[in-house]
Amino acid sequence: MRQLTERFQRLFNWTKERATRQGFTEEELSVINLSNPAFKTTKSSRIWRFISLAYYLGKLDGIRYCDEMEKTK
């Protein structure tokens, strides 16, 4: 993974701290994609679909957010 710019590193750290305050552990936050085994413990296809949807929506929102941040001065 490439190194984040200082601006995005601060945003990344802030988001990670916020997730930690909400009860997520460092271990859970260490793998930032769906290859994290913690995501695959459910057997319910309906729950797995919600997890996948949240993942893709988060990625899309992140891309849009980054684009907006690049355009603002």
Model pLDDT, residue 34:
63
Model pLDDT, residue 37:
67
Model pLDDT, residue 38:
65
Alpha-carbon span 60 to 43, nearest angstrom: 26
What tokens were used for 59?
Answer: 């990625």
The residue among 36, 59, 40, 56 whose CA lies nearest residue 48 is: 40
Mean pLDDT over each residue of the chain, to the nearest integer: 78
Counting other chains too, the contacts that 6-9 makes at CB distance below 8 Å and 24 or more residues apart are 7/69, 8/66
Evaluate if residue 53 carries a pLDDT over 60.
Answer: yes
The predicted-structure confidence for 4-19, as pLDDT tens digits, reads as follows 778 888 888 888 888 8
Evaluate if residue 66 carries a pLDDT over 60.
Answer: yes
Are 7 and 69 contacting, i.e. CB atoms less than 8 angstroms apart? yes
pTM given for the model: 0.57
